[in-house]
Amino acid sequence: MLNTVLDYLIQSYKSYPDKPALIYSEREMTYGQLYLSAVNTAGWINENIGCVRQPVIVMMKNSDKAVAAFLGVALSGNIYVPIDSDMPEDRLRVIIDILNPRCVINCEDDIISDMFECPVISYDEIQNHDFVQENVLKLKESIIDTDPLYILFTSGSTGVPKGVVVSHRAVIDFTEEASEKMEFSKNEIFLNQAPFYFDASVPDIFCTIRNGATLHIVDKSLFAFPIKIVDYISQNNINAIYWVPSALVTVANMKVLGKRDISCLKKIMFCGEVMPAKQLNMWMKAVPEAKYVNYYGPCEATYACSYYIIDRHFEDDEPLPIGKAAKNTALMIINDNKEVLSSRGGLIGEIYIRGSGLALGYYNNPEKTKENFVQNPLNSLYPETVYKTGDLAHYDEEGNIIYDGRCDYQIKHMGYRIELGEIETCVGAIEKVNQTACIYIKSKEMIICYYSGMVSENEIVDVLKRKLPFYMIPKKIIKMDSLPMNMNGKIDRKKLESNWS
């Protein structure tokens, strides 16, 4: 039985010591080098810090060295915390205050702040030390599967970021399920898109290492030029990607899919936000032989807890199902009366998740943990924690779950309950609309729709009047050159809302 993700590393190191595990900026790190780098990192932490189950910040940009540092922190028995060196200083100060980290690992070419009171060590300096492998590997013996592996920070409703604590067992559960369903092998060549401080990078790292595959890590600036990223896919025979929908949408909207042969792509997976059917159809037309999978899951459920393998054509304005629960996971749709809804009823309720893939909670935030990780409302006989997602959904006739938006995207306007996501779907399906997002300004009782694309506001109004009731028509429709994106590559709705504060 697998106890930790370190078993993946050791297994692939023994099987493929000379095979490239990570490729970054034309630099290859083999499984042998990755293993030794992790051993040295763990050895240094053990010898100089001597802590276990404590947060260790890895403050680096996406790179092969960052992944090696993550695994080294894990091997030392501690919790790795990815932090981007470009993070705004105010946010970094809040995170440091929450964590009180035991040490920070960075790269010599990264600017490090003097705000840390703990030791700061360069990854390259650590690698100048050699530690006895047998002694370091003994550290692994004390790690159990429910020990925390990493902490990823997500935005909080109060403005204070939340540190989601995820265990080895949760990552193993997801990685095993994904590898089985997607039939991953040593022949996979992944291309990382998400920053390492975002949970969309979790499958990139651990599905690669578990299967003895290869992961390409590129500078995030490359994604600003869709033709370059398509070229990279073609030139490096990338055959599997886990991307956020916004990245796929951007590539599709820039009309570059038909300009290069990317038939090497065989597995295209996405999660993190709604994938519009219109742009999915563009991808499926350009790469018809690929397998497409729509994943669903919050960071608190270790990237994804359900999936839907695209098995038919969807109209441009048709929502994609998020499918059924993954193995060892249960999804329940529960209404306001704490009643579980039928798998064929079509009624909307909130998604609750249970299973070993759940996070352990929020680091140093018991109040927020208690608020979101709650007792199963259907079970009063013994303690059973479930995660209350804040996501609304219903079942279709085939028993697949259809995502209906966030509870906080559901508004009451003119006496009607409205899902902003329904308006977004209608606008997004309009030809020549590239992106769209709706917000609600409660103080002004006003729905506002932002969009980008080569279509006029009046044309959008005409379409919405034909498809939606009058009370769902936005008060203002605002065209932008492009919608703002947050650090995770999603549409930044808070920034749009701030325009009206």
**Tens digits of residue pLDDT in 420-461:** 988 998 999 999 999 999 999 988 889 999 999 999 999 999
Where, residue-wise, is CATH 3.40.50.12780 in the chain? 6-218
Euclidean distance between CA atoms 396 and 401, whole angstroms: 6
The runs of H, that is alpha helices, within 295-435 are 366-372, 420-428
User: What is the chain's percent helix, strand, coil content, to nearest 5?
Assistant: 35, 25, 40
Q: Which residue has the tokens 């769209």?
A: 436
Euclidean distance between CA atoms 401 and 11, whole angstroms: 36
Phi then psi for residue 181, to 5 deg, are -65, -35
Residues 363 and 163: beta-carbon distance below 8 Å: yes
Token pair for 108: 């010599």
Euclidean distance between CA atoms 363 and 101, whole angstroms: 12
The pLDDT tens digits for 122-132 are 999 999 988 98
Q: Which residue has the tokens 């060295």?
A: 65
pLDDT of residue 159: 58
Token pair for 379: 């079970």
In the chain, the amino acid numbered 248 is L
Phi then psi for residue 72, to 5 deg, are -65, -40
Domain 6-218 has CATH 3.40.190.10: no
Per DSSP, the three-state class of 421 is: helix
The pLDDT tens digits for 382-427 are 999 999 999 999 999 999 999 998 888 888 787 777 889 889 989 9
In the chain, the amino acid numbered 305 is C
In Å, what is the CA distance from 87 to each residue of 70, 112, 113, 374, 495? 18, 11, 11, 32, 17
Residues 136 and 46: beta-carbon distance below 8 Å: yes
- Please identify every stretch of the chain with a pLDDT value under 50, giving residue numbers as ranges: none
Q: Find, among 2, 358, 386, 355, the residue nearest to 176 by Cα.
A: 2
Q: Find, among 323, 315, 352, 363, the residue nearest to 148 by Cα.
A: 363
The runs of H, that is alpha helices, within 154-310 are 168-181, 202-211, 226-235, 245-253, 277-286
Q: Which residue has the tokens 């998400």?
A: 194
- The share of the chain scoring above pLDDT 70, in percent, equals 98
List of residues 6+ apart from 1 with CB closer than 8 A: none
Where, residue-wise, is CATH 3.30.300.30 in the chain? 414-498
Burial class (CB in 10 A: 0-12, 13-18, 19+), 9: buried
Q: Which CATH number is 414-498 given?
A: 3.30.300.30
